[in-house]
Amino acid sequence: MKINILCLYYDLMNLYGDTGNLKIIKHHLDKLKIDYTTDYLSIDDEINFSKYDLVLIGSGTEDNRFICLNHLLKYKKDIEKAISNNKFFLITGNALAMFGKKIYDTKALEIFDLSVSKANARNSKEVVIPYETSSIYGMINTFDVITNNDNYLFDETGILKNNFYGTYVIGPVLGRNPSFLKDFLEKLLDKTNINIDLSLESKAYNEFIEFKKTKVFNSKKA
């Protein structure tokens, strides 16, 4: 078995360190002794989406997002085909808007029924997303006001269609959420009950929950 991975716009869309999701995936693939390749491509490169099993894109500045969108538009049909063929996508932060109908007044890929307008102030907050038997914790930090009318909802603003995971949550989301990480890897590898060491991710997850409980309690007490 071999997994071909594309880290797309690694140089322009990594504002909040979301390439950390790739590092986490590679770490566990190494531990599982799964063969993989990793390509790092950007706006000066040609992209063959059919070559890859997994594509990752993270957050970027507004200017960088428009630069990348302009490059990505010519691949609309290829991306739609890849999604239909159950290729995996992990699209985090404001990169998700590139796959929607429009970003402000600019036409996007129009793959999903999602549009964004610009807020007067940045929306920065911690969020909790229900996910199967656990919850996904993360951050949202964006000027985007998201209108999501799509039928394939991952969370309030996100998209989950076939193996396309799109969310405004940053974190990196896989590193902060061991149950989601395990589920994502099992689907990527088409295996169940894979034996991976999630002790570090679980420790971070549980300590964050305890920290939030303490913070809320102390705040009320004060």
Q: Decide if pLDDT at 220 tops 50.
A: no
- What is the Cβ-side half-sphere exposure of residue 52, based on CA atoms within 13 angstroms? 23
| Residue type present at position 41 | L
**Domain coverage including residue 155:** 2-196
Residue 213 within a domain: no
Q: Is residue 206 assigned to a domain? A: no
What pLDDT digit, counting tens, does each position of 71-98 carry? 999 999 999 999 999 999 999 999 999 9
Task: Confirm whether 19 is domain-assigned.
Answer: yes
Q: 173 in a domain, yes or no?
A: yes
What SS3 state is found at 193?
Answer: coil
What mean pLDDT comes out for the span 6-19?
94
- Structural domain contains residue 95: yes
Task: Please check the confidence at residue 214 and state whether its pLDDT lies above 80.
Answer: no
Is 60 exceeded by the pLDDT of residue 216? no
Confirm whether 219 is domain-assigned: no
Banded model confidence at residue 221, pLDDT cuts 50, 70, 90 = very low
Percent of the chain scored above 90 by pLDDT? 68
Q: Please give the Cα distance from 49 to 188 (Å, whole number).
A: 16
Q: How many Cα atoms within 13 Å fall on the side-chain side of residue 3?
A: 24
pLDDT score for 130: 83
How does residue 217 score in pLDDT terms, banded at 50, 70 and 90?
very low
What CATH number has the domain bearing residue 141? 3.40.50.880
Determine the length of the chain: 222
- Asked whether residue 210 is domain-assigned, the answer is no
Report pLDDT digits (tens) over 150-208: 888 787 788 999 999 999 999 899 999 999 999 999 999 999 889 999 998 898 888 88
Domain count, the chain: 1
Query: 109, 93, 176: which is closest to 138 by C-alpha?
Result: 176
Q: Is residue 78, in this structure, part of any structural domain at all?
A: yes
3 state DSSP class of 167:
strand
Residues 221 and 142: their CA atoms lie apart, in Å, by: 32
